Structures are given as structure tokens and as C-alpha cells.
Amino acid sequence: MNLKWLPALLLSTQLTSADVLNPTSDYETFYQSTSRGYTEFFDEYRTVPYIGPDGQEHNPQGWVSLYGSLSGGTLFFTDTNNVSWDFTNTPYTIRWILAYSVDSETLFKIGSASLKGQATLPSSIKIVGFYGTGPNSRVPEGGMTLTLLVIALIIMLPFYDKKTTR
């Protein structure tokens, strides 16, 4: 059996950095996705204190694990410089990472590595938020249901028996 092509196939399937983290300025899509329930907030990792919805200052110095649908350090990991995730054999995928430094934020869209991947973030990052899809995420409806209904009616039209109507 000739397997000369196998090393070339393995090299061609390795992930590039563009497959993992893509910095984006498309905050509108991100905010619409999260506000409409298409994307869930998983958890965030912090190295600086914050004021929570309860008005109290919190200083977890690690995973916040209060408001998200998953707990960090289980399926995804970070130390604010490196991020990694492995959602293989789970109903979850990662879609976005929102990283904050002291004076700015960067939104990263996850490429084709939404099940398993790793990447390096800029060194000034203090907070890393993980967002993705899971079993409780809503599926966006782009009008396909209505389109399929119209197509079905058009297909059925030739079979309509005019004799039954009076």
C-alpha cells in the first residue's frame, strides 16, 4: 500500500493561527448574537477586581464562575496570555473571545477551531471572556421556513384537483 501522500495530508490539516483567533471589529454581530441568545456567555478569567451586578467589589483573581453557563477551567483554560479549549464530544462550541487590557478591548472571532484549539493573546490582557454555543443556545431563523413552505406549495400546485372545488 502506497502511503506517500499521508505526510502531505497531515501537514495540510494542521491549524494555522487564522483558523483559531481572528481579531475583529464586528462588535455589532457579537452583541446581537449574545443579546438574542444565539451565543452564550461561558465564563471569564480576571486578574483585576470588578464591581458585580450586586454593587459589591469582587476580586476573584481567576475564574469568576458566577454568571456564565459553564465554569472555566473545565473545557476551556487561560492564564490571560494563553487560551485553549477542548469541546470535543460535548454539545458546546466556542465562537468568541473578548479580551480586555487596562485601557482597551479586543474581540476575537474563532475560526474553524471551534471545538478544539489554542492561541496566544497579547501580553497586556487582564480579563478574558469566553462565548460560544451550547444546548441552550437559540438557532437563528433566516427566513428559510417561509421559503420552504412556498416551495412546497408551488410543487403541490400541479396536483391540485380543480374538480373538488365548486
Backbone angles phi, psi at 159, to 5 degrees: -90, 0
Task: Work out the end-to-end distance of the chain between its first and last CA atoms, rounded to an integer number of angstroms.
Answer: 72
Classify the C-alpha dihedral 31-99-43-110 as positive or negative.
Answer: positive
Phi, psi angle pair for 37, to nearest 5°: 85, 10
DSSP H or E run through 52: none
Whether the model pTM is above 0.85:
no
Non-local (6+) Cβ contacts of 107 within 8 A are: 23, 24, 25, 26, 27, 30, 96, 97, 98, 99
Q: In the chain, which ranges are continuous DSSP H helix?
A: 6-12, 17-20, 27-35, 144-156
In this structure, what are the phi and psi dihedrals at residue 33, rounded to the nearest 5 degrees? -60, -40
Mean pLDDT of 103-122: 89
Q: For the residues 68-73, what does the mean pLDDT come to?
A: 85
DSSP string, 112-152: S-SSEEEEE--TT--EEEEEEE-TTPPPP--SHHHHHHHHH
Q: Is 95 helix (H, G, I), strand (E, B) or coil?
A: strand
**pLDDT value at position 162?**
63
pLDDT of residue 94: 93
Rounded CA gap, 155 and 147, in Å?
A: 12
In this structure, what DSSP letter does residue 39 have? S
> What digits encode the pLDDT tens for the residues 31-68?
999 998 889 999 999 888 877 778 888 777 888 876 78
Query: Which pLDDT value is given to residue 140?
Result: 63
- The closest alpha carbon to 20, from 94, 99, 129, 127, belongs to 94
